[in-house]
């Protein structure tokens, strides 16, 4: 049974602009160390950052306004085959356990200007 769905769209240049303005400070507030390392290993990190930011926002939308979420409690990783996967920690993990959320399906995509993330939470 579906608990919630969420989708979010992020302009890739927002990530580039944030990096130029704030350096890594902005990224360190919203991304885990693993996410930052993964994205900055790429020649152009901004599309990967944008889709991860969008996915975190999508997950927050899927939860609804039931809890305040620290974005670092949501980590978007890639399996060896490249498939994205969500790992939750802290208050988000506790929320999942309390509500009986057993699966978090995620899809990421980007093109020239935009990154998108969608999430389906399943009981």
Closest alpha carbon to 90 in 72, 64, 102: 72
> According to DSSP H, which parts of 6-122 are helical?
12-22, 25-30, 33-40, 46-63, 90-99
CA distance 20 to 28: 14
Query: CA-CA distance, 108 to 51, in Å (whole number)?
Result: 6
Phi, psi of 84 (to 5 degrees): -75, 150
Active site residues: 61, 110
H or E segment and range at residue 12 = helix 12-22
């Amino acid at each position: 049974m579906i608990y919630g769905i969420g989708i979010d769209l992020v302009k890739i240049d927002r990530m580039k602009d944030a990096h130029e303005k704030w350096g890594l400070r902005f990224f360190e507030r919203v991304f885990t160390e693993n996410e930052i390392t993964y994205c900055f290993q790429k020649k152009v990190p901004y599309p990967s950052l944008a889709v991860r930011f969008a996915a975190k926002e999508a997950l927050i939308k899927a939860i609804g306004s039931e809890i305040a979420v620290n974005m670092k409690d949501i980590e978007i990783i890639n399996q060896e085959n490249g498939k994205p996967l969500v790992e939750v920690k802290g208050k988000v993990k506790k929320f999942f356990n309390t509500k009986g959320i057993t699966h978090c399906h995620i899809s990421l995509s980007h093109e020239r200007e935009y990154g998108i993330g969608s999430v389906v939470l399943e009981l």
